[in-house]
Structure 1
């Protein structure tokens, strides 16, 4: 949600005359009226609009009408993808050309890592690539990597161009920001339905869905980077006689390089995350294998494949981050070519040697199965041991939490009358932002109600609320601890970095191992994925409290607890709110993933829509998740803005 936080709460009106007691009284009145008037309790089925069918019919018509165009687009995307796949794992059988030997890819990863970040990164890249080969995951990993290699440059170029266009036209920027808000709040799987209708199943549709999902972060980083270039630099370029085009390419973009590289990092991570999820529409690779293993409860294989996906994510993340910090090399004039390009020379040597030796040693071309390793068997044995010995103890805990805590909360959400569900956030919006903000939940939640998604909406709210409360209870204390202890900060930040690198699929594996399928399993998987922002923003907010303020409070005789409760937490509250907002967004993103282990919410609606190409069902369910995120983002952002004004911070 890059740059969206900066826009939240803009246009906030003066504080309306509404107090908490009045708001509570209004909500209670709506609840009482719902018990007296049946249609205020549950929206009548006869008044539900068949929007889902209309959307499905529209996409079917559009797909038939635009088939020549979609075929051209698919052909254009297939060409670079086929080329990369031929190099990495397929070869060109018609010309009897094999793919690159696996030692070439391993060596290239290590050499590139050394060029970007030195020995530690070279070791990480080399060992991670070797893992893919030695554990028999090479073809699947190369299929996934091929999509990433082709998609990332396209996403970066398109995002860069859109970002530049937005900075040159305020109206375009407003439109793009509104579209990006919805796109980034919509879960991954919701992109797949329309793409399947238009392009079918396979690698190219998966790549297209991945491209659409990875484009907004790069565009938003481009906008942010260009907007934050100091005016002095721009004025210096103008005084030097630069034309607008020269000013852009020689001044603004170089000055925004760090932010643009951050966009590249985000595009890479989003591409990999989506490339895994795209296995649901027929994309081959590690994601498809992992999905099959999870469905078959083959936990050992799922762990091997999950580790492979995680290693690819870590390598790509560390490479892009190291490139952001990399300083240009300085070489003396007349330095020999080999010395100036030693990494390229070493790669060429590895390439030639591997191709020649692969003709003599077939194991260097394709590693035979008998030479690969596997630790899936011991893990399966461990899972069986856990199921046999530990699950009898885990099951009562799981069932107790589910029966006594989660199910009553679920039933409460399902009982809530629709005027209460819509009216409560509307009143909050009116309190913080006036009528404009109040109308947002009325329109968005009302749309979901009249289109027949009310029950999945309430089940989604139930899961997200449970997860968010737990994330806050865990994340804020950990953030406080990290702000108090430098060693704890290093450990916690390292763990947070690692958790944010994991693709969302990975969190399902330990949950299934320990808790099997249940509402508690869904909450725990979402909890592991969504706690990081609550920790990070709490830590960031506390660390930004001015030192002079802390010294003044300490000099006044305040204890550590008093200083935290009365000064630090109130001043860090706006950042903590933004952390809670990001926690909600990540929990919503995980909703579609937990559908794979049996949830019954909007994510399950998306998942069920894919096999039958029910585009309306999947797209509206995805928009429903996005609507929840947009409402939470606007309300929490308005609250944070008000708190900042009260503190004199903005």
Structure 2
């Protein structure tokens, strides 16, 4: 009877933990630095005389490397250009030396329909056929096939390379640590940052796009290979050993089949990453839909941009749905040679032969002439003009109010903070959450940007990402709560989230330009549309993970639904919410370089400005700065989530 009060008294009289004491001491130190910065200029702004010229060193190193390694780069470019030339000839160029046309669009559309039916049934067949037909009837066939050509060449290369690295890392823990560190930087670095070094070494055009896309698409396959092989049950491996398998037989006949689903997930991610990067690679001369969309956006031809954006989205949706359906499909074991008697294969062969035979008589079977194509760009342009004329007078005050009273004060605050306060605050948080080693992470990473002269751009990036993250939390958390409570709403919300994640990042620029023109709010809203999905998903996941027994105990205690949510469910789901915030930050950082196309002054703009002049050092350091923000946030939030999970006994 007396044990509870004694325990409670002991808790009440227990002195504060060392962690909180250290945190308070760090806060006091930050206040001291703010005061000292007013009297010591070096503590306020880093002097330009002390900036390390790493940017020029990197640019010079790449120029030297391009000159010395020209035979190697030319050899790599030639090797990659061969399969690309073959794919382009099949899809849209034709074999002019042989007098053969490319594959007719009717055959390709029919083939996608047949493939969709074989993989996933009628609905997927309809999606594949109609999406491919859209490309033809709206006059985007050639540009779409240019984009698809790069995807077809890169996906097998990235899958094979990622798989090989993953197997090596699985067998060598030391190499795995190095590889994971490289993958962290590669995946946290924005798409466009890959383009600068590639342009210096390989120039502009399709081949540089291939190489940049390969680098960007590689990590997911490597990570999924490691994960898949790590999750193979020990008894399965033991059975392989008992059966007398050699090391190679154990890999190919036991571990890989057991990890098949995870490996196929890696292939799916490679496909989606490849398509995303191919669109971005239009900035270095890669022909295709991305180049057309970029030109339309620059010319403010919103109608054409919508047509091209829908085409990119349809390609992404079809590739995503088909790869996911294939991943879920249970492979049918058939006798050897039966595939050649498969009805789907025979159907496609018959369609292909028929379309090739009639193509000399009906050229529209190969590609629709312009007078047979359609366009809905004009009505959209008229709608945009109407919105600009009629609604902008109402939208502008809202935009200006949010910008002046919310965004600009946050921007000015970020720029006002002395650099020791920023680094010291992050180091203090790291110290409390993970000790000295974690405290050094933000100091080392973000301090590099200070020493190389990118501090102002870094803080402007932090300002945009912070604004986006706060809005994502305010919007995504209630939506996730709603989805966790209502199954019907969850179905609709999850469908919308799937669609938003499938859109190429360029697409989000179109509506914000239409409604808000170019402004900081436009940047934040474009980032918000792309980055709010993880917050919704993780909020929903976290609340569904709350044990039912805990919820019933709270109900039995007489709590109201709101009290139960705030005092029971959200605290238990908080680790998942932190993961949602983590992923929101990562996706917002990925959009930073994209929103630079509609105007900004952050690190993304530095990457964009570096491309025309091949200023590799500028672009690479700016890209690394964005990656450093992501890595810092990931490490701190990950340590916080791990600490909460330990406290919850999970």
Shorter chain as normaliser: what TM range?
A: over 0.9
Q: Measure, in 2, the Cα distance between the counterparts of 1:94 and 1:55.
A: 44
Aligned to 1:10: none
Write the deviation string for residues 99-129 of structure 1: whole angstroms up to 9, x where unpaired: 1111011011111111100100000000000
Tell whether the 8 Å contact from 2:23 to 2:428 is kept in structure 1 after alignment. Answer: no
Choose the corresponding residue for 2:306, options 291, 295, 303.
Answer: 303
SS at match of 2:38: helix
User: In the alignment, what sits opposite 2:131?
Assistant: 128
Asked if 1:232 corresponds to 2:235, the answer is yes
**Offset, 1:396:** 1.2
CA contact (8 A) 2:43 2:420 kept: yes
- Shifted more, 388-397 versus 134-143: the winner is 388-397
The structure showing larger relative contact order (alpha-carbon pairs under 8 Å, at least 6 residues apart) is 1
TM-align CA RMSD: 1.3
The aligned counterpart of 1:430 is: 431
**Residue aligning to 1:323:** 326
2:588 equivalent in structure 1: 587
Q: How many residues align?
A: 634
Q: Per the alignment, in what secondary structure is the counterpart of residue 559 of structure 2?
A: coil
How do 1:19-34 residues align onto structure 2 when only pairs under 5 Å count?
19-34=22-37
* Contact 1:15–1:434 (CA under 8 A) maintained in structure 2: no
Instruction: Provide closer, same or farther for how the CA distance between residues 430 and 289 of structure 1 changes in structure 2, counting only shifts above 3 A.
Output: same
CA distance in 2, matches of 1:330, 1:604: 53
Could you say which residue in structure 2 is the equivalent of 1:635? 636
2:540 corresponds to 1:539: yes
For the residues of structure 2 that align with 1:154 and 1:454, how far apart are their CA atoms? 38
Is residue 2:258 matched to residue 1:255? yes
8 Å Cα contact 2:205-2:284 kept in structure 1: yes
**Whole-angstrom CA distance in 2 between matches of 1:328 and 1:412:** 57
Asked if the contact 1:18/1:431 (under 8 Å) is kept, the reply is no
The answer to whether the Cα contact below 8 Å between 2:26 and 2:424 also exists between their aligned partners in 1 is no
Structure 1 unaligned segments of length 5 or more: list them. Answer: 1-13
Decide whether the 8 Å contact of 1:59 with 1:197 is kept in 2: yes
The verdict on how the C-alpha distance between 1:578 and 1:15 changes in structure 2, with shifts beyond 3 A counting, is farther
* Matching residue of 1:70: 73
Question: C-alpha displacement at 1:236, in angstroms?
Answer: 0.7
Separation in structure 1 between the aligned mates of residue 295 and residue 544 of structure 2, nearest angstrom? 44
Does the residue aligned with 1:18 lie in a helix, a strand or coil? helix
Give a deviation string over 1:70-95, Cα, whole Å, max 9, x none.
11111111110100000000112122
| TM-aligned CA distance change 1:412 to 1:481, over 3 Å | same
The match for 2:42 among 39, 43, 58 is: 39
TM-score, normalization: structure 2? 0.96
Scaled by the length of structure 1, what TM-score is found? Answer: 0.96
Distance 1:526 1:227 in 2: 35
Change (3 A) 1:336 1:330: closer
Name 1:492's counterpart in structure 2: 493
Contact 1:213 1:271 in 2 (8 A): yes
Q: What's 2:100 paired with? A: 97
Alpha-carbon deviation of 1:330?
5.7
> Do the aligned partners of 1:225 and 1:257 also contact (CA within 8 Å) in 2?
yes
Task: Report the counterpart of residue 439 of structure 1 in structure 2.
Answer: 440
- 1:334 shift after superposition: 11
Which sections of structure 2, spanning at least 5 residues, go unmatched? 1-16
Pairing 1:83–2:100 present: no
User: Which residue does the alignment assign to 2:283?
Assistant: 280
Q: Which residue of 1 aligns with 2:176?
A: 173
Contact kept in structure 2, 1:15 and 1:433, CA below 8 Å: no
Query: 1:217-616 alignment to 2 at 5 Å?
Result: 217-329=220-332, 340-616=341-617
1:261: how far off? Answer: 0.8
Q: In the TM superposition, what is the alpha-carbon distance from 1:335 to its structure 2 partner?
A: 10
Aligned pair 1:142/2:145, yes or no?
yes
CA distance in 1, matches of 2:472, 2:292: 31
| Separation in structure 2 between the aligned mates of residue 556 and residue 392 of structure 1, nearest angstrom | 53
User: Contact 2:139–2:374 (CA<8 Å) still a contact in 1?
Assistant: yes
Looking at structure 2, the residues matched to 601 and 237 of structure 1 have their Cα atoms a distance apart, in angstroms, of 54
Q: Does 1:151 align with 2:174?
A: no
Worse overlay, 496-505 or 544-553: 544-553
